[in-house]
Amino acid sequence: MIKSVKVRLLPTKEQEELMFKSVGTARYAYNWGLAKWQELYKEGVKPNSYAIKKEFNNTIKTQDKFKWLYEVSAKITAQAFDDLQDAFNNFFEGTAKYPKFKSRKKSKQSFYVRYDRMNIKNNTANIEKIGRVRFTTNYNIPKLRAYVNPRCSYDGKYWYLTFGFEQGENQVELNPNLSVGIDLGIKDLAVVNCLDEPIKNINKSKEVKRLKKKIKRLKRKCSRKYEMNKINLSEDETNKDKTNNKNKTNKDGTRFIKTKNIIKLENEIRLIHRKLTNIRNNHIHQATNKIIKLRPKRVVIENLNISGMMKNKYLAEKIQEQKLYEFIRQIEYKCKFNGIELVKADRWFPSSKMCSNCGNIKKDLKLEDRVYVCQCGLEIDRDKNASINLGNYKVS
């Protein structure tokens, strides 16, 4: 299997400037390709990445005003069109939504690194047109001729390099009698049948609550500054903005001026969001490692319809903060790496309604009933009962 590694880069100012140019070039090429794809589709022509890439090189790159494209690696623009092709393939297969244009503010800042030019030596990685960049890591990275799908990304504070390499399964001795059932939820992240205590919800911790409260306070402060810097425009100025397509004027003829203090506040808010994401991801890694270290023969999880669950407006935010999809993704690849069988129970399997003692199904069980009481005399926590049923799940 392919193991992925993420290392933190320590670029110089000149290298960081070239990295930001590479990010902008990748975004521009992707957006240009998407616009061209839509244009060809309307004309009745079946588009593909090869034709779009060829037209881009023959028309755009030959113009003098696009000389800045030559400052970065040519493989960045070529890979952007391949990524666009993959995005449309996923859309037609029904595994992803229709591709969208990448925004400078909201999109992930990343670019492709040419794999056959990247070599690692003495804690430095060679990136084409950027040079040797120092990095820090705790991983033992093997020296190979080529790595799989290397990408360089920026998270608002640090630069990272991610890449993959072939590695066999981790040879560990598994417990043949242990079947782990995992019931995911909102009150607790996960309840495991063979653990006495549930895996707690990190969003209920003091640190996460403090950071969320701080974000609210900073957003209110930022909104007040926007209101203070709002100016009213005359009709001539409003029409001038609309004709110039600046998109800075509101419908009521007002404009918000972004000052340096507002920019500082927005950067502070962005860094707190980054910290929250890291806390949640770290918690999920610790939770999944705790389960994998039990060395079970198999792991059974629910086949959740997470996108359908997100449609509940009362629970959508809590479900999003739990990062259930990320939990399932990590369990999948860690089970595969350790040779553990992963089973996804049928979506309609009544894990919560079935008694783990006698097998009776309680059809009138409500979501507010947190204790499962059966006619056989069993009284057990609802989620614990579900995890036991998942652990005993038999594949039909």
pLDDT tens profile 273-315: 999 999 999 999 999 999 999 999 999 999 888 888 888 888 8
16 and 154 co-located in one domain: yes
Tens of pLDDT, residues 141-167:
888 888 899 999 999 999 999 999 888
Quick check: is 37 in a domain?
yes
The residues pairing with 380 across neighbouring beta strands, listed in sequence order, are: 372
Quick check: is 371 in a domain?
no
| Better-predicted residue by pLDDT, 235 or 368 | 368
pLDDT at 244 over 80: no
Last residue of a domain, one of 137, 166, 195: 166
Quick check: is 370 in a domain?
no
Domains contained in the chain, number: 2
Tens of pLDDT, residues 83-96:
999 999 999 999 89
How far is it, in rounded angstroms, from Cα 331 to Cα 301?
9
Quick check: is 297 in a domain?
no
211 and 123 co-located in one domain: no
Mean per-residue pLDDT, 367-386: 87
92 and 16 co-located in one domain: yes
Q: Domain span at residue 93?
A: 2-166
216 and 154 co-located in one domain: no
Last residue of a domain, one of 166, 187, 222: 166
Tokens, residue 179: 């079947």
44 and 98 co-located in one domain: yes
133 and 41 co-located in one domain: yes
Tokens, residue 23: 């990010």
How far is it, in rounded angstroms, from Cα 123 to Cα 133?
9
Residues 6 or more apart from 210 whose CB is under 8 A from it?
A: none
Quick check: is 295 in a domain?
no
Mean pLDDT taken over the chain: 89
Mean per-residue pLDDT, 59-83: 92
Residue with tokens 């993420």: 6
Quick check: is 362 in a domain?
no
Tokens, residue 335: 């089970």
Q: What percentage of the chain reaches a pLDDT higher than 90?
A: 62
pTM over 0.75: yes
Q: Where are the alpha helices (DSSP H) in 293-381?
A: 306-309, 316-322, 324-338
12 and 130 co-located in one domain: yes
Residues 6 or more apart from 41 whose CB is under 8 A from it?
A: 47
* Residue 348 dihedral angles phi and psi, to the nearest 5°: -100, 15
Residue with tokens 């990272």: 160
